[in-house]
């Protein structure tokens, strides 16, 4: 019964995380006029939708998808993968993304933070 509950929780998490991730992608293209990739980055700062609540809804969505899979498939290895990805995302945000956004968008980004 516990395993079934975890599988259901995983499925629910997947269903919650997927629209967050898709919305993040759509907003980057429509509002930001770019992509999440640094080679085709956004031209405008995106602050609407889930960006009103978290600065990195794409990372939240990805981590939700990975954790959801770990629960759905009862996989400690996939859960460990989520932890590694969370750490990697954190390093990327702190060391590259936030300094880059401060330089690119200046006071607009400072106000958003």
Which tens digits make up the pLDDT trace of 58-102? 999 999 999 999 999 999 999 999 999 999 999 999 999 999 999
CA 60/CA 67 separation, integer angstroms: 10
CA 28/CA 34 separation, integer angstroms: 6
pTM reported for the whole predicted model: 0.90
Which tens digits make up the pLDDT trace of 22-47? 999 999 999 999 998 888 999 999 99
Of 34, 54, 30, nearest in space to 112 by CA: 54
Q: Where are the domains of the chain?
A: 2-33+54-112
Asked if 11 and 68 count as a contact pair (C-beta separation under 8 A), the reply is yes
CA 20/CA 110 separation, integer angstroms: 24
């Amino acid at each position: 019964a516990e395993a079934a509950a975890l599988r259901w929780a995983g499925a629910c998490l997947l269903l919650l995380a997927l629209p967050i991730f898709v919305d993040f992608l759509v907003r980057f293209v429509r509002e930001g006029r770019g992509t999440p990739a640094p080679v085709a980055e956004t031209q405008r700062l995106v602050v609407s939708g889930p960006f009103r609540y978290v600065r990195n809804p794409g990372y939240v969505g990805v981590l939700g998808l990975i954790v959801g899979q770990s629960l759905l498939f009862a996989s400690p290895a996939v859960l460990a993968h989520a932890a590694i990805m969370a750490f990697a995302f954190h390093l990327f945000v702190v060391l590259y993304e936030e300094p880059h956004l401060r330089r690119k968008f200046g006071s607009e980004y400072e106000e958003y933070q």
